Amino acid sequence: MAGRLEGKVAVITGAASGIGRGAVDLFVAEGARVIAADIQDDKGARIEEDHKGRAVYIHCDVTKEGDIAAAVAAAQRHFGRLDCLFNNAGAGGARETSDGISAESFDAVMHLHVRAAMFGVKYAVPAMKAQGGGSIISTASVAGLRTGFGPFLYSVAKAAIVHMTRFAATELGPYNIRVNCLCPGLIATSIFGAGLGLPRQVADASVDAIAEGAKTAQFIPRGGLPKDIAEAALYLASDGSSFVTGHALVVDGGLTLGPSVTSQMMAFAPIVQALGLDMAALQSLTEKKD
């Protein structure tokens, strides 16, 4: 039985870990050939080992326009086409409040999320136009839809991705290019721990604790997994979503169905406790960093 992405070629950024790695594995399993773009070269090499001939790793810093262009070019060079771009690279970002942001933090967060996604669109579109269509997917967040689910700058950046998605969909629809985004809730990846200020190695080791703590944070009583988001991306990349465009697909286990949250620390309290962190001490650390 043919997979849902049989014969298709995808570029996935942030592909070496978390949601991106889950998407690489699922896309390949469903028949796609993948350009896995990331800056984690050791993990990228393992992708090629695990998916010999079906996935090619390319070093790609999405804050550099030339690297994004090179990733798209690699799809055409290695596999002859481009059917799907999954703009997935990202990070938790700075925790400054609205009255304490710095130009450096603003530029870093916007370049990593918004600018990278926009340049992804810029370089993917010509290839997709030439072959009669394609699918562009970006990872946004529930933090881009409602307040209280992420730091200020991160939330603003993700909201920009949602609106970019809708605007690009109106421009590219006539070319049969669909543009959608995903809005994950609490997903057990190292990005969440890093966003709380944990060192990278500690954040990597905290994924199981994050999943455990997230069980009580939303209505579906389990933590969200990278595979949950990968499955949603698979749908948007496949022909099964051929009439879906301009959509922000929420995948959050019902997190945003609850009452309004005045502080992201309140929403994330179960996870913070599962990580063995003290809420008051963490808040103090956040204020010092700001």
The answer to whether position 285 is within a domain reads: no
The answer to whether position 217 is within a domain reads: no
Give the closest residue to 165 by CA, choosing from 151, 143, 144, 192: 144
The answer to whether position 204 is within a domain reads: no
The answer to whether position 215 is within a domain reads: no
Q: Look up the pTM and report it.
A: 0.87
Report residue 77 as tokens: 């060079």
147 three-state secondary structure: coil
Catalytic one among 57, 123, 154, 235? 154
Residue 154 in contact with residue 141, Cβ under 8 Å?
yes
Residue 237 in contact with residue 84, Cβ under 8 Å?
yes
- Indicate the number of domains in the chain: 1
The band of 187, judged by pLDDT with boundaries at 50, 70 and 90, is: confident
Give the pLDDT confidence score for residue 2 in this predicted structure: 72
Cα–Cα dist 83/40, whole Å: 24
Mean pLDDT computed over 216-244: 94
Give the pLDDT confidence score for residue 284 in this predicted structure: 46
Task: Tally DSSP H helices, then E strands, for the chain.
Answer: 13, 7
DSSP state of 251: E
The answer to whether position 144 is within a domain reads: yes
Task: State the residue for tokens 């991705």.
Answer: 161
- Among 72-86, 111-125, 127-141, 207-221, the range scoring the smallest mean pLDDT is 207-221
Give the closest residue to 58 by CA, choosing from 218, 50, 69: 69
The answer to whether position 248 is within a domain reads: yes
Give the closest residue to 91 by CA, choosing from 133, 130, 39: 39
Asked whether the predicted pLDDT for residue 280 surpasses 60, the reply is no
Reported as a single tens digit per residue, the pLDDT across 243-257 is 999 999 999 999 898
Give the closest residue to 142 by CA, choosing from 106, 187, 173: 187
Give the closest residue to 192 by CA, choosing from 4, 18, 23: 18
Mean pLDDT computed over 161-171: 99
Strand order in the sheet with 84-87: 55-59, 33-38, 9-13, 84-87, 134-139, 177-184, 248-251
Give the pLDDT confidence score for residue 208 in this predicted structure: 75
Reported as a single tens digit per residue, the pLDDT across 43-102 is 999 999 999 999 999 999 999 999 999 999 999 999 999 999 999 999 876 678 889 999
Pairing label, strands 33-38, 177-184: unpaired
CATH number at residue 153: 3.40.50.720
Give the pLDDT confidence score for residue 202 in this predicted structure: 65
Cα–Cα dist 251/61, whole Å: 26
Report residue 220 as tokens: 């579906």
Give the pLDDT confidence score for residue 261 in this predicted structure: 43
Task: Determine the structural domain holding residue 57 and report its residue range.
Answer: 9-189+223-256
Mean pLDDT computed over 262-287: 54
For the question of residue 123 being annotated catalytic, the response is: no
The answer to whether position 199 is within a domain reads: no
Give the closest residue to 144 by CA, choosing from 167, 101, 114: 114
* 134 bridge partner residues: 177
Length of the chain: 290
The answer to whether position 166 is within a domain reads: yes
Within the chain, where are the H helices?
A: 18-29, 41-50, 65-79, 103-110, 116-131, 152-172, 190-195, 200-205, 207-213, 226-237, 264-267, 269-274, 279-289
